[in-house]
Amino acid sequence: MVVSPSKLQVIMEISREGEALELRLLHTALAAEYDLTETAYTFGARSFSFLSVLDSYALLDRISPEEFVKDEQMPYWAEIWPSAITLSAFMADELSLEGLRVVEIGAGVGMASVVAAWKGASVLTTDYSLEALRFARYNALQNRVGLQCERLDWRLVQCSEQFDLLFAADVLYERVNLLPIVTAIDKLLKPDGVAYIADPRRRLAEQFLELAAENNFSITPFQRRYDGGAKSVAVTIYKMTRQSTAQ
């Protein structure tokens, strides 16, 4: 069936109106539950706006001892970290993503996912926290990009799809997570896929790199610095590719 230009225009306008309504309703719901802050950023000469939680430490009181024992999940998702900003700038300035299938793990409020979608990628945004995915959805709508959002536990990846690229920012903060993250990357990437992991040069990153090498990954580091906050933060973006097994 061929859709006439006039009908297509009507469909697009209805879609935009629906997204605008969803954006307003989602903001109202989030504002009723959190103290919010919205911050402007520029990546690749394009202006973005991202919603996050004003004080992520205030969320600690919401975690019951039972919930913490079960998952040991801290509300790190609620904040936009220097590694996410640095990774987003790197993507905007140095990577070609047009037409690629991309996944972000530990996405938080979805900054890197939004930038990847703006760059032309088809993006699956994932986080363990369902609350984080609500913010990621809002930020996609706010910046007028399309995202798929799904919950993903990197300790037990049930996603069967494999991706051209994988992104993650500031996920190497617990030793217990290091091997599960390497395993998740191995499962989620196509054989010739590439992962980019941004980290503020924590000591745990060294152990992560050792595990990655043991699992047949080669690492190329890119040194960057984030100067947009109260203090300068050194960030390394690790490019991970599978080593060739050809003899």
Can you give the CATH number for the domain in which 82 is found?
Answer: 3.40.50.150
119 within some domain: yes
Confidence of residue 120 (pLDDT cuts 50, 70, 90): very high
Number of Cβ within a 10 Å radius of residue 31: 11
46 assigned to some structural domain: yes
Beta pairing, strands 46-53 & 36-43? antiparallel
For 83-92, 179-188, 236-245, which range has the lowest pLDDT when averaged over its residues? 236-245
Q: How far apart (Å, rounded) are the C-alpha atoms in residues 161 and 99?
A: 16
Global confidence as pTM: 0.89
Residue 9 inside a domain? The answer is no
Domain span including residue 99:
34-242
How many CB atoms are located within 10 Å of the residue 245 CB?
Answer: 7
Whether 27 maps to a domain, the answer reads no
Long-range (24+ apart) CB contacts under 8 A made by 221-224 are 222/90, 224/86, 224/89, 224/90
What is the C-alpha to C-alpha distance for residues 58 and 73, in angstroms, rounded to an integer?
Answer: 15
Beta-strand pair 233-242/148-151: unpaired
Quick one: average pLDDT of 126-155? 95
What's the pLDDT at 10?
42
Each residue's pLDDT tens digit, 65-87: 455 445 556 678 999 999 999 99
Q: Are 195 and 208 spatial neighbours (Cβ–Cβ below 8 Å)?
A: no
Please count the structural domains in the chain.
1
Residue 87 lies in a domain: yes
Question: What pLDDT score was predicted for residue 228?
Answer: 86
On whether residue 17 sits in a domain, the answer given is: no
The full length of the chain comes to: 247
Contact indicator for 208, 217 with CB cutoff of 8 Å: no
